[in-house]
């Protein structure tokens, strides 16, 4: 059995202007990141993750998420620096690179999808990204002739039950689009998405890291110097992104509806 952990990065509001926003406003980009992994592999790496938490974080119970804050880091002891988020992020990226897993990400330019009428609501934004992401995972299963069930998880949102319900419905709607699936009539995916607390779910934290690092790269498209900074992270685990016949199928872009 496979486990697919998914998380998002960016806002899911419609976007009617071209601006990018990395400071808490309505972002132009919306990303779903996913990591496909076996349960026994999560068990295998648990000690490695605990070592990173103990070495890098002041509180070893904190999450290994992309949006780590300087005051959470223990770098003054372990790295002889006041703080170094980039060092921490490289540690997590290297961890992902050394895991037996497959990485997926889909990016939606909301200005494009909003102004072209491709999406008309928050639900549409999530549904479109789910469709592209699930299609990529399904293609991986089909090309590798894998017929195992896949249980899908996503992090519970801080904004409360309304967003969780939105995500649940968007996932169910995406599953109902039979044009997505090559493998086994989409029966590989769990019929419901499982909402989990990332604080207690390592797979959800790794999905958060993937979504956050991909989003940071694209949302900083107007600043090429910053993009190089973020590319340092995504490049480390880049070999884990699903590739087939030299085509990077694990990274997709929501440019149109899948019909």
DSSP string for 124-154 = HHHHHHHHHHHHHHHHHHHHTT----EEEEE
Residue 163's pLDDT band (cuts 50, 70, 90)? confident
In this prediction, residues 71-79 reach a mean pLDDT of 68
In this prediction, residues 147-172 reach a mean pLDDT of 86
- State the chain's maximal CA–CA distance in angstroms: 54
The pLDDT, as a whole number, for residue 209 is: 97
Mean pLDDT (the chain) is 90
In this prediction, residues 240-245 reach a mean pLDDT of 97
The pLDDT, as a whole number, for residue 55 is: 85
* Predicted confidence (pLDDT) per residue in 10-41, tens digit: 999 999 999 999 887 899 999 999 999 999 99
| Cα 24 from Cα 34, distance rounded (Å) | 23
The pLDDT, as a whole number, for residue 183 is: 65
Residue 60's pLDDT band (cuts 50, 70, 90)? confident
Residue with tokens 């607390």, as numbered in its chain = 197
Asked if the model's pLDDT at residue 83 lies above 80, the reply is no
The pLDDT, as a whole number, for residue 237 is: 97
Q: Candidates 3.90.850.10, 3.30.420.10, 2.40.50.140, 3.30.420.40; correct CATH number of 2-253? A: 3.30.420.10
Structure tokens at 133: 């992401």
In this prediction, residues 93-112 reach a mean pLDDT of 97
Asked if the model's pLDDT at residue 176 lies above 90, the reply is no
Task: Characterize 173-202 residue by residue with b for buried, 16 or more Cβ atoms within 10 angstroms of its Cβ, and e for exposed.
Answer: bbbebeebbebeebebbbeebebeebeebb
Domain ranges of the chain: 2-253
Give percent of the chain above pLDDT 90: 67
| Cα 90 from Cα 67, distance rounded (Å) | 13
| Cα 257 from Cα 235, distance rounded (Å) | 29
Residue 256's pLDDT band (cuts 50, 70, 90)? very high
Kindly list the distances between the CA atom of residue 258 and the CA atoms of 128, 176, 233, in Å, as whole numbers in the listed order: 8, 12, 30
Residue 69's pLDDT band (cuts 50, 70, 90)? confident
* Predicted confidence (pLDDT) per residue in 206-230, tens digit: 999 999 999 999 999 999 998 998 9
């Amino acid at each position: 059995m496979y486990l697919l952990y998914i998380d998002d990065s960016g806002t899911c509001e419609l976007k009617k202007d071209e601006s990018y926003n990395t400071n808490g406003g309505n972002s132009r980009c919306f990303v779903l990141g996913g990591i496909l992994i076996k349960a026994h592999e999560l068990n295998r790496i648990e000690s490695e993750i605990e070592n990173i938490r103990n070495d890098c974080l002041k509180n070893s119970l904190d999450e290994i998420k992309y949006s780590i804050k300087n005051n959470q880091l223990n770098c003054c002891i372990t790295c002889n620096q006041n703080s170094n988020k980039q060092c921490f992020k490289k540690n997590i990226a290297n961890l992902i690179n050394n895991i037996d897993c497959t990485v997926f990400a889909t990016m939606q330019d909301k200005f494009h999808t909003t102004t072209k009428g491709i999406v008309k609501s928050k639900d549409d934004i999530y549904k479109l990204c789910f469709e592209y992401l699930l299609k990529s995972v399904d293609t991986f299963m089909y090309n590798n002739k894998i017929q195992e069930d896949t249980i899908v998880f996503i992090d519970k949102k801080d904004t409360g039950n309304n967003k969780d319900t939105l995500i649940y419905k968007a996932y169910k709607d995406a599953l109902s689009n039979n044009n997505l699936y090559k493998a086994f009539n989409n029966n590989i995916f769990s019929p419901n998405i499982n909402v989990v607390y990332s604080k207690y779910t390592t797979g959800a934290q790794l999905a958060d890291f993937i979504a956050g690092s991909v989003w940071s790269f694209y949302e900083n498209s107007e600043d090429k110097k910053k993009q190089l900074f973020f590319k340092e992270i995504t490049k480390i685990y880049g070999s884990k992104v699903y590739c087939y016949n030299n085509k990077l199928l694990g990274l997709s872009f929501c440019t149109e509806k899948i019909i």
